[in-house]
């Protein structure tokens, strides 16, 4: 197992609170199961590497987001979701719910990913585009581009685009 | 009596697995780790975890909503 572990790679393209979970849950779990894991952060996924995270989600255009409320499940109509402050309130509600249900924070999962030796690649083009540098990021990520990812992916057993 | 006991009750996916992996570092080769969890997904997950890592799932059971897993480190 240790000599020739299975490998998993992921392209992380989304940076909202809800979409941040699948890549970090899968990366930390795969690492715990002995896989070599690489995460490639690009476009809106890149800010997930920033030192300070302030993750939000939007209920706008997301009719599948039904929150448990008073024994029912409620979605927010788009017209209301578009009002100022609604995204912040929905994000706070989601964070409270996660805390109550003992779902780990993204910060905690990210720390475990780093501790577990998950390889983090920050898309150089995205950093240039959105004016970020490695100094803005937690320690650990290395810069890379499409070819860097393809090399990793071509040697991996599992490749995910999230 | 297991070498190490991990109480993961109340924790949700993926924390029971992640904490078990960490706890196994403190278990000698051939030693055992006992995990207590309330996450209903943990049953399938610990079976898969052990199949993939090669650790042996020696025993598992459930009592009043608490799942118990006994894992022998390979």
Contact A107, A74 (CB under 8 A): no
| Residue A2: per-residue pLDDT | 53
Domains and CATH numbers, chain A: 7-51+106-161 (3.40.1260.10), 68-100 (no CATH)
How far is the C-alpha of B46 from the C-alpha of B28, rounded, in Å? 19
Active site residue B13: yes
A158 touches chain B (CB under 8 A): no
User: Between the CA of residue A51 and those of A150, A161, B31, B41, what are the distances in Å?
Assistant: 27, 23, 39, 32
| Residue A1: per-residue pLDDT | 46
Whether A3 has a pLDDT exceeding 80, the answer reads: no
How far is the C-alpha of B24 from the C-alpha of A33, rounded, in Å? 12
At how many degrees (to 10) do helices B15-24 and B42-53 cross?
40
Average pLDDT over residues B35-48: 94
Within 13 Å, how many C-alpha atoms sit on residue A22's CB side? 14
Contact A24, A110 (CB under 8 A): yes
Whether A5 has a pLDDT exceeding 50, the answer reads: yes
pLDDT of A117-161, one tens digit each?
999 999 999 999 999 999 999 999 999 999 999 999 999 999 999
Looking at the 3D structure of chain B, how many domains does it have? 1
Q: Any idea what DSSP says for residue A50?
A: B
The neighbour count for residue A102, using CB atoms within 10 Å, is 15
Average pLDDT over residues A84-88: 92
Q: Which among A30, A47, A20 is positioned nearest to A159, based on CA atoms?
A: A30
Full-model pTM:
0.89
Whether A4 has a pLDDT exceeding 80, the answer reads: no
Contact B2, B70 (CB under 8 A): yes
Contact A23, A12 (CB under 8 A): yes
pLDDT of A19-77, one tens digit each?
999 999 999 999 999 999 999 999 999 999 999 999 999 989 988 899 898 899 988 88
**Which structural domain, as residue segments, surrounds residue B61?**
4-72
Q: Any idea what DSSP says for residue A43?
A: G
Q: Write the CATH number for B33.
A: 3.30.110.40
Cross-chain Cβ contact B49/A102 below 8 Å? no
The residue from B13, B48, B59, B66 that is catalytic is B13
Average pLDDT over residues A85-92: 93
When pLDDT is cut at 50, 70 and 90, the band that residue A7 belongs to is very high
Picking from A101, A112, A116, the nearest residue to B12 by CB comes out as: A101
Please give the ipTM for the structure prediction. 0.85
How far is the C-alpha of B2 from the C-alpha of A107, rounded, in Å? 32
């Amino acid at each position: 197992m240790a000599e020739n572990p299975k490998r998993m790679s992921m392209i992380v393209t989304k940076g909202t609170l809800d979409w941040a979970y699948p890549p970090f849950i899968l990366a930390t779990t795969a690492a715990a199961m002995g896989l070599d894991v690489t995460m490639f952060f690009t476009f809106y996924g890149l800010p997930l590497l920033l030192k300070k995270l302030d993750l939000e989600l939007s209920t706008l255009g997301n009719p599948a987001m039904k929150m448990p409320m008073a024994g029912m499940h409620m979605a927010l109509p788009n017209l209301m979701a578009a009002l100022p402050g609604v995204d912040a309130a929905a994000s706070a509600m989601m964070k409270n719910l996660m805390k109550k249900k003992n779902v780990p924070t993204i910060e905690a999962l990210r720390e475990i990913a780093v501790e577990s030796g998950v390889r983090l690649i920050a898309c150089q083009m995205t950093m240039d585009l959105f004016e970020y540098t490695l100094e803005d990021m937690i320690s650990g990520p290395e810069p890379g581009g499409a070819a860097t990812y393809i090399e990793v992916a071509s040697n991996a057993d599992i490749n995910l685009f999230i | 009596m297991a070498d190490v006991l991990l109480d993961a009750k109340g924790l949700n996916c993926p924390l029971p697995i992640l904490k078990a992996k960490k706890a196994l570092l403190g278990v000698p080769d051939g030693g055992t780790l006992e995990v207590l969890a309330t996450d209903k997904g943990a049953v399938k997950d610990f079976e898969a975890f052990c199949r993939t890592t090669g650790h042996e799932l020696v025993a598992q059971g459930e009592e009043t909503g608490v799942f118990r897993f006994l894992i022998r480190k390979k």
